[in-house]
């Protein structure tokens, strides 16, 4: 009797079957590898979308047409939105889900590891389609990220590529969501009941449900555009008896939950970080779970606040106005709970906490402008102005993106085994928050003064604020290169990270070594 180690017979069966190099990444089914690939992909797309944004801001630096033609400006606007929403923010959160959910619930991997690999590898071809659409006749899609007809029905093949890309990205999201739901519900470590799960898992569980519910709606809507374009259907063609407003209803029935898809996981990340650096348990865990669920449910009945100006009965306007305002209640519960968690906590302000606090402050401002826009008579005045642009960038940049930064700094030691440079991290935060506000705060004033969005030229009265906004945008963009440097430096070396580098951190992920081993849980997790 003997125990044989590294025996050739075993090599024949298994060891050499494990690919290395590039093939490791192409064929991997490991949740950490796939999470890493999601995060790098999303950062790459963030840079691509950011470059498009800087091109937009360059054109808007001065009144008049300087750099691009109006139709190219519209293409840049559209692709900036599509790439940031579907290529940067969503995949980034899926990357976090891949990395952290199995670690947090004590599972060895995702429920469908091979499907997880497919989910990721659908993304690069879709991204490629979006990028190469700039080079086809007529250029990229230019109808805005909402793809409203009749513009989207009339455009060149760039729109077909965008529709194809969105289908692929949607398929990826659906596969990822099914994987996340089944992993969270079916693979929790013994003893980890639902109400003991980390908030990040809860928010992702609810997000995955939202994605599953609304993705077929998007797929159907863009397929109808496709058939209108090529098969002479008239779903949205008024001349053929169709209704362009139907598209708006259908799109926003997907689109508004989509907004929450991009913010609920951010709530989860912030809910992990604040207790860790306040060194107190999260205040009102149960109410946080119910508030998240409430936001998700309410997100299905508020879509028409995006289209108050299309003309709808006063009753409908009132319903959608009040329903939208109602969302402020569970959101307020969350903000209250985060602040209450900090109250009398033994707080320190490392970079993750700074970004989390920045998130609360700036996201709340975005929430308040959302409340303003929920009021129908005000929205009718501000519709399609820069006030709306400022509002959703406060929610999605200062909300989603700041939470993503917070999450990266928080879990980077666990991912890489090294501590990042704290000084540079803090510099990244302060520069980001300052330049963000320089970029977007002034856009409130532009919108209130009546500057329309998606227009490359503007009246002279808007010149100063646009100049300030462009300077801020370039500052914000360059600051993100600092983030790249910090992350790459951390991967390449640095101070060795402890298994639990944050004193107040709680959760199973901190029970495994740093960096987390390729196959998690060398000791079985115990949840009490």
Partner 1 sequence: MGSVAITAVPSEDRKRSDPTVGLSLTARPNRSLSPAVRNWVAAGMCVPVLVVALVVAAQGAWLVMPFAGLEMAMIVFAFRWLRAGDSDYETVSASGHELVLRRSVRGRTEELRFNLHWVQVVFEPAGIARKSVLALRSHGRVHPIGHLMTEVERTAAADYLVTRIRHARAAAA
Structure tokens at 284: 């009102």
Query: Which of 7, 309, 346, 430 is in the footprint of partner 1 by CB under 8 A?
Result: 7
137 touching partner 1, by CB under 8 A: no
Rounded distance, CA 41 to CA 94, Å? 11
Q: Which residues are catalytic?
A: 80, 109, 145, 172-173, 256, 258, 260, 271, 305-306, 331, 334, 453
Structure tokens at 408: 């990266």
The residue among 192 and 353 lying less far from partner 1, judged by its C-beta, is: 192
Structure tokens at 334: 């969350």
250 touching partner 1, by CB under 8 A: yes
Segment contacting partner 1 by CB under 8 A, of 91-99, 207-215, 371-379, 463-471: 207-215
- Smallest gap from Cβ 237 to partner 1, in A, equals 12
6 touching partner 1, by CB under 8 A: yes
186 touching partner 1, by CB under 8 A: yes
- Smallest gap from Cβ 507 to partner 1, in A, equals 17
491 touching partner 1, by CB under 8 A: no
What is the biggest distance separating any 2 CA atoms in the chain, rounded to whole angstroms? 88
192 touching partner 1, by CB under 8 A: yes
Rounded distance, CA 51 to CA 73, Å? 13
DSSP string, 284-319: THHHHHHHHHHHHHHGGG-GGGGGGGG---HHHHHH
Query: Which of 67, 213, 471, 491 is in the footprint of partner 1 by CB under 8 A?
Result: 213
CB 447, CB 387: distance < 8 Å: yes
Task: Classify the phi-psi angles of 63: left when phi > 0, otherwise alpha if psi is within -120 to 50, otherwise beta.
Answer: beta
223 touching partner 1, by CB under 8 A: yes
- Smallest gap from Cβ 5 to partner 1, in A, equals 6
- Smallest gap from Cβ 219 to partner 1, in A, equals 4
296 touching partner 1, by CB under 8 A: no
Instruction: Give exposure, 155-191, as e/b (b: 16+ Cβ within 10 Å).
Output: beebbbbbbbbbbbbbbbbbbbbbbbbebbeebbbee
434 touching partner 1, by CB under 8 A: no
- Smallest gap from Cβ 22 to partner 1, in A, equals 12
- Smallest gap from Cβ 57 to partner 1, in A, equals 36
The residue among 7 and 496 lying less far from partner 1, judged by its C-beta, is: 7
Rounded distance, CA 162 to CA 160, Å? 5
128 touching partner 1, by CB under 8 A: no
Rounded distance, CA 528 to CA 202, Å? 18
CB 412, CB 490: distance < 8 Å: yes
∠ Cα 402 320 324 (to 5°): 30
Q: Nearest-CA neighbor of 501 among 418, 404, 422?
A: 418
The residue among 376 and 520 lying less far from partner 1, judged by its C-beta, is: 520
528 touching partner 1, by CB under 8 A: no
Q: Nearest-CA neighbor of 355 among 416, 419, 398, 391?
A: 398
Distances (CA, A) of 173 to 106, 201, 383, 410, 458: 23, 17, 30, 25, 38
97 touching partner 1, by CB under 8 A: no
Segment contacting partner 1 by CB under 8 A, of 37-45, 245-253, 272-280, 454-462: 245-253
Query: Which of 49, 50, 91, 106 is in the footprint of partner 1 by CB under 8 A?
Result: 106
Interacting positions 251-290 with partner 1 (CB under 8 A): 253
Rounded distance, CA 7 to CA 67, Å? 65
CB 114, CB 47: distance < 8 Å: no
234 touching partner 1, by CB under 8 A: no
Rounded distance, CA 511 to CA 338, Å? 25
The residue among 251 and 436 lying less far from partner 1, judged by its C-beta, is: 251
The residue among 33 and 379 lying less far from partner 1, judged by its C-beta, is: 33
243 touching partner 1, by CB under 8 A: yes
Query: Which of 216, 281, 332, 377 is in the footprint of partner 1 by CB under 8 A?
Result: 216
Footprint of partner 1 (CB under 8 A): 1-7, 9-10, 12-15, 18, 20, 24, 28, 30, 33, 106-108, 111-112, 174-175, 178, 181-182, 185-190, 192, 209, 212-217, 219-221, 223-224, 227, 235, 243, 246, 249-250, 253, 300, 517-519, 521-524
């Amino acid at each position: 009797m003997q125990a044989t180690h590294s025996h050739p017979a075993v090599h024949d069966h298994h060891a050499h079957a494990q690919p290395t190099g590039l093939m490791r990444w192409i064929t991997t089914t490991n949740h950490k590898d796939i999470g890493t690939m999601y995060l790098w992909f999303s950062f790459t797309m963030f840079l691509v979308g950011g470059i498009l944004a800087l091109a937009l801001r360059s054109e808007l630096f001065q009144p008049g047409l300087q750099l691009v033609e109006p139709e190219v400006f519209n293409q840049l606007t559209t692709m900036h939105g599509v790439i940031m929403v579907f290529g940067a923010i969503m995949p980034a959160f899926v990357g976090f889900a891949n990395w952290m959910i199995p670690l947090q619930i004590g599972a060895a991997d995702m429920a469908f590891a091979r499907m997880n690999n497919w989910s990721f590898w659908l993304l690069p071809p879709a991204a490629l389609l979006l990028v190469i659409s700039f080079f086809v006749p007529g250029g990229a899609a230019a109808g805005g990220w909402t793809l409203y007809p009749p513009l989207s029905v009339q455009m060149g093949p760039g729109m077909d590529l965008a529709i194809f890309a969105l289908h692929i990205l949607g398929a990826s999201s659906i596969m990822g969501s099914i994987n996340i739901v089944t992993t969270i519900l079916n693979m929790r470590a013994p003893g980890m009941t639902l109400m003991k799960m980390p908030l990040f898992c809860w928010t992702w569980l609810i997000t995955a449900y939202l994605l599953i519910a609304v993705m077929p709606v998007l797929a159907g809507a863009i397929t109808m555009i496709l058939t209108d374009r090529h098969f002479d259907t008239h779903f949205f063609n008024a001349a053929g008896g169709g209704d362009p407003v139907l598209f708006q209803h259908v799109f926003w029935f997907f689109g508004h939950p989509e907004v929450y898809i991009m913010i609920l996981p951010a709530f989860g990340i912030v809910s992990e970080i604040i207790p860790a650096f306040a060194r107190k348990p999260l205040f009102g865990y149960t109410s946080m779970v119910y508030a998240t669920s409430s936001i998700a449910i309410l997100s299905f009945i508020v879509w028409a606040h995006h289209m108050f100006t299309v003309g709808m009965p006063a009753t409908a306007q009132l319903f959608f106005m009040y329903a939208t305002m109602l969302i402020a209640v569970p959101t307020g519960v969350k903000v209250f709970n985060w602040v209450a968690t900090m109250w009398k906590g033994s707080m320190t302000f490392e970079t993750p906490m700074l970004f989390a606090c920045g998130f609360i402050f700036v996201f709340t401002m975005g929430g308040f402008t959302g409340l303003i826009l929920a009021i129908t008579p005000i929205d009718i005045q501000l519709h399609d102005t820069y006030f709306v642009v400022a509002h959703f960038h406060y929610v999605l940049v200062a909300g989603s993106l700041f939470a993503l930064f917070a999450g990266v700094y928080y879990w980077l030691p666990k991912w890489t085994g090294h501590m990042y440079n704290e000084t540079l991290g803090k510099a990244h935060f302060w520069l980001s928050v300052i330049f963000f506000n320089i970029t977007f705060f002034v856009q409130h004033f532009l919108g209130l003064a009546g500057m329309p969005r998606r227009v490359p030229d503007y009246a002279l009265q808007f010149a100063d604020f646009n100049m300030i906004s462009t300077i801020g945008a370039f500052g914000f963009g360059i600051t993100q290169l600092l983030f790249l440097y910090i992350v790459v430096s951390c991967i390449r070396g640095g101070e060795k990270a402890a298994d639990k580098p944050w004193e107040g951190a709680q959760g199973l992920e901190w029970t495994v070594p740093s960096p987390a081993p390729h196959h998690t849980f060398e000791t079985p997790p115990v949840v009490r």
